[in-house]
């Protein structure tokens, strides 16, 4: 039996998609999975070591990993209306961010890349500071940062905390490029060869199982979620588990190639996918 090291985040979209694989309900013949659950920035760094066989990473981080990894057509977080949000405690304009601290959920994340692109267009240079994603809103609340970029469940709950929206970075991306926004992708090591294709199919089977029997996956998803409100968890799944999670398709691959080119990937679009 071959043991494959699999890294996913604790966020509801990942735990929903991978429930079947993590519990042996969707499988790869002759292989099993050793599952590591971690923050996406930790996963970005782990994938950079080449150790995991299969790993969720920020789409932007994939740009530097595609010599060793290929992108799975299934399992991605990609769509419209899914982007990170730039928020503040006080009402601020983009120009107010120049030279001030803005917290981001990791320097290798798609959120950070989007903020860089947005700030470049706005002509401002904030001081970026990396924090774990679920700490960003608190940094803004306590005044240690002027603004923050929120991802995952935080993008649904910031208004309840009295925080203000400066810019929905996903809407900004869509308006500028007329493409869905790639947030996170599943990487599969190229040296797995045909086994990698079986892994890709198993991810698809795991997602189909969760869609067909969501009540079975719910305990696993809820037990790992940062926000315990059931409505927020379901909203997270509904937002980030999209048709592109089933299959990137032509439009999803085009959007990913566009984002990766901005993150420094210089290869051809056809080199992305497994």
Which residue in the block uniquely carries the two structure tokens 């009402």? 91
Number of other CB atoms surrounding residue 188 within 10 Å = 26
Active-site choice (45, 53, 152, 236): 152
Cα 1 from Cα 269, distance rounded (Å): 34
Active-site annotation holds for 23 = no
Judge whether 261 and 93 are in contact, CB under 8 Å: no
Does residue 28 contact residue 198 with C-beta atoms inside 8 Å?
Answer: yes
Of 167, 200, 198, give the one whose Cα is nearest residue 84. 167
180 within 8 A of 174, measured Cβ to Cβ = yes
Residues belonging to the active site: 152
């Amino acid at each position: 039996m071959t043991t494959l090291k699999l890294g996913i985040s604790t966020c509801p979209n990942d735990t929903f998609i991978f429930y079947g694989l993590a519990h042996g309900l969707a499988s790869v013949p002759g292989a099993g999975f050793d599952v590591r659950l971690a923050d996406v920035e930790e996963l970005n760094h782990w994938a950079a070591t080449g150790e995991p066989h299969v790993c969720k990473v920020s789409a932007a981080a994939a740009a530097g990993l595609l010599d060793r990894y290929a992108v799975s057509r299934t399992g991605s977080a990609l769509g419209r209306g899914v982007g990170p949000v730039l928020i503040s405690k006080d009402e601020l304009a983009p120009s107010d961010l120049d030279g001030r601290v803005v917290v981001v959920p990791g320097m290798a994340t798609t959120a950070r890349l989007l903020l860089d692109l947005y700030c470049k267009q706005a002509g401002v240079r904030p001081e970026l500071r990396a924090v774990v994603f679920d700490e960003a809103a608190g940094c803004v609340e306590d005044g240690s940062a002027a603004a923050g970029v929120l991802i995952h469940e935080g993008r649904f709950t910031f208004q309840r905390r009295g925080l203000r929206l400066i810019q929905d970075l996903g809407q900004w991306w869509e308006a500028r490029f007329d493409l869905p926004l790639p947030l996170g992708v599943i990487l599969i090591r190229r040296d797995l060869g045909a086994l990698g294709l079986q892994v890709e199919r198993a991810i698809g089977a795991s997602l189909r199982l969760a869609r067909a029997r969501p009540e079975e996956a719910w305990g696993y998803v809820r037990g790992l979620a940062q926000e315990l409100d059931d409505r927020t968890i379901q909203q997270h799944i509904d937002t980030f588990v999209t048709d592109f999670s089933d299959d990137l398709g032509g439009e999803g691959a085009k959007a990913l190639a566009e984002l990766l080119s901005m993150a420094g990937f210089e290869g051809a679009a056809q080199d992305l996918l497994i």
